[in-house]
Amino acid sequence: MKYRQDKNGSQISQLGYGCMRFTKKGNAIDYKKAEREVLLAIERGVNYFDTAYVYPGSEECLGRILDENHCRDKVNIATKLPQYIVRSSGAVDKIFREELSRLRTDHIDYYLMHMFTDDTEWEHLKTLRIENWIERQKAEGRIRNIGFSFHGSTEIFLKILNAYDWDFCQIQYNYLDEHTQAGRRGLQAAAQKGIPVIIMEPLRGGKLVNLPDKAKQALASDSKGYTPAELGLRWLWNQPEVTCVLSGMNSEEMVEENARIASDAGPGQFTEEDLKIVEQIKQIIHEKEKVGCTGCRYCMPCYKGVDIPAVFYYYNLMYMEKKSSARFEFAQSMGMRRDPGFASQCVGCGRCEERCPQHINIREKLKEADRELRPLPYKLAIDAARKMLNKKLKG
């Protein structure tokens, strides 16, 4: 296993174990199966295990495995505060105590504010004196490193990144999301500040494993013989700014395979041929796109606040993946922002079209995208969720 340093000089395995996808047996996690896989991962050198308060049974399962096998001191535990349901400082304490109990530990190595989508969520936590709470937990040794996980735009990521002295962060990043969400700009900005970056969704929820036939043929022409998963993982580890890549490993074969790749892959190993294959695959996947937006952002800023590239990204995603999953991600990443940037905010001035190097009929495409992304049931659900969020922020 290869390791990369965190902000304080500690070694993190460049392959991390995502515990959200432990195999279920009925309604509960299959403990014995999860135990075999976790212990094998530790044996292969994995020392970063990621879970969360809201992953059903995950914290309890991981804590039991580490406790019963006496290997807590061999690993780093990362878990998360569900900031989106926290309304008081007392709730923060209650949740944290429960997490320590579930995990059978007296400290969390890497503690995250879970799923920021807007900087207002951090501002809300500050009203609950979260900064003082963090300082106290760190001073008393219950938290070793503090960070946040993120789903939102690059600009918002940069705001949150610069809003506090974070020890690490976690972003969704893969070769399809290279220029969306926090993106490469966010990754590099964090690295420039010396902040380690943990990667989630490295294979886009399986999208980069189950490639279209045409993409598989392109990959087969590569002399390296990489599998789709290996190509996606190596693309990440080729970047020195990436600290740890999380994989939701739920078979011993997957643990062995990912550990093998992680023991070999490193920065600077990708050749021009490898990069060309990645671009080919991206192009094939994007052939189903509805809008030929490259995410260059020359159309921005929109003076009415429409996030044009993000709207088109999720509109395209509907036709590259499942419509329901793309709509959900759109609602989660854009709908919960303070300034959501919906296409419906467009007033048709046309300034964006004057600046678009792809000569896209942006105004018309925005109308199409809004109809597809926010059919009435989704619009009502997003509006209701936003009302609840605004109520929480005010009170």
Cis peptide bond upstream of 301, omega within 30: yes
Q: HEC profile for 173-213?
A: CCCCCCCCCCHHHHHHHHHHCCCCEEEECCCHHHCCCCCCH
On the question of pLDDT at 390 being above 80, the answer is no
**Helical H runs in 334-375?**
351-355, 362-373
> What pLDDT is stored for residue 31 in this prediction?
98
**What does 198-263 look like in DSSP terms, one character per residue?**
EEE-TTGGGTTTS--HHHHHHHHTSTT---HHHHHHHHHHTSTT--EEEE---SHHHHHHHHHHHT
Q: Which of 278, 300, 318 is the last residue of a domain?
A: 278
On the question of pLDDT at 189 being above 60, the answer is yes
C-alpha R_g of the chain: 21
Mean pLDDT of all residues in 176-185:
91
Q: Are residues 137 and 254 in the same domain?
A: yes
Count helices and strands (H / E) in the chain.
Answer: 16, 12
Q: Are residues 207 and 82 in the same domain?
A: yes
Q: Are residues 273 and 243 in the same domain?
A: yes
Q: Which of 278, 305, 337 is the last residue of a domain?
A: 278
> What pLDDT is stored for residue 338 in this prediction?
78
Residue among 211, 136, 138, 200 at smallest CA distance from 169: 200
> What pLDDT is stored for residue 357 in this prediction?
63
Count of domains for the chain: 2
Specify if 283 maps to a domain.
no
Specify if 284 maps to a domain.
no
Q: Are residues 133 and 251 in the same domain?
A: yes
Q: Are residues 251 and 319 in the same domain?
A: no
Structural domain span for residue 32: 3-278
**Per-residue pLDDT band at 334 (split at 50, 70, 90):** confident
Q: Are residues 252 and 327 in the same domain?
A: no
Euclidean distance between CA atoms 318 and 98, whole angstroms: 38
> What pLDDT is stored for residue 377 in this prediction?
84
The per-residue pLDDT for range 21-42, each reduced to its tens digit, is: 999 998 899 999 999 999 999 9
On the question of pLDDT at 181 being above 90, the answer is no
Q: Are residues 269 and 308 in the same domain?
A: no
The per-residue pLDDT for range 239-259, each reduced to its tens digit, is: 999 999 999 999 999 999 999
Q: Are residues 135 and 242 in the same domain?
A: yes
- State which amino acid sits at residue 119: D
**Per-residue pLDDT band at 121 (split at 50, 70, 90):** very high
Q: Are residues 337 and 194 in the same domain?
A: no
Phi, psi of 318 (to 5 degrees): -60, -30
Q: Are residues 230 and 310 in the same domain?
A: no
Specify which residues 18 forms β-bridges with: 50
> For the domain that residue 136 is a member of, what is the CATH number?
3.20.20.100
On the question of pLDDT at 152 being above 90, the answer is no
Q: Are residues 136 and 273 in the same domain?
A: yes
Euclidean distance between CA atoms 333 and 105, whole angstroms: 33
Lowest-confidence region among 90-104, 127-141, 372-386: 372-386
> What pLDDT is stored for residue 289 in this prediction?
78
Specify if 194 maps to a domain.
yes
Mean pLDDT of all residues in 345-370:
90
Euclidean distance between CA atoms 72 and 62, whole angstroms: 10
Euclidean distance between CA atoms 45 and 40, whole angstroms: 9
Q: Which two tokens stand for residue 263?
A: 């023991």
Kindly tell me the burial class for residue 90, based on how many C-beta atoms sit within 10 Å of its own C-beta (0-12, 13-18, 19 or more): exposed
> What pLDDT is stored for residue 394 in this prediction?
63
Cα dihedral 309→362→214→200 (10° resolution): 10
pTM check: above 0.85: no
The per-residue pLDDT for range 258-276, each reduced to its tens digit, is: 999 999 999 999 999 999 9
User: Where is mean pLDDT largest: 68-82, 205-219, 291-305?
Assistant: 68-82
Q: Quick check: 205 and 177 in contact, CB under 8 A? A: no
Mean pLDDT of all residues in 171-190:
94
> What pLDDT is stored for residue 137 in this prediction?
98
Q: Which of 258, 278, 298 is the last residue of a domain?
A: 278
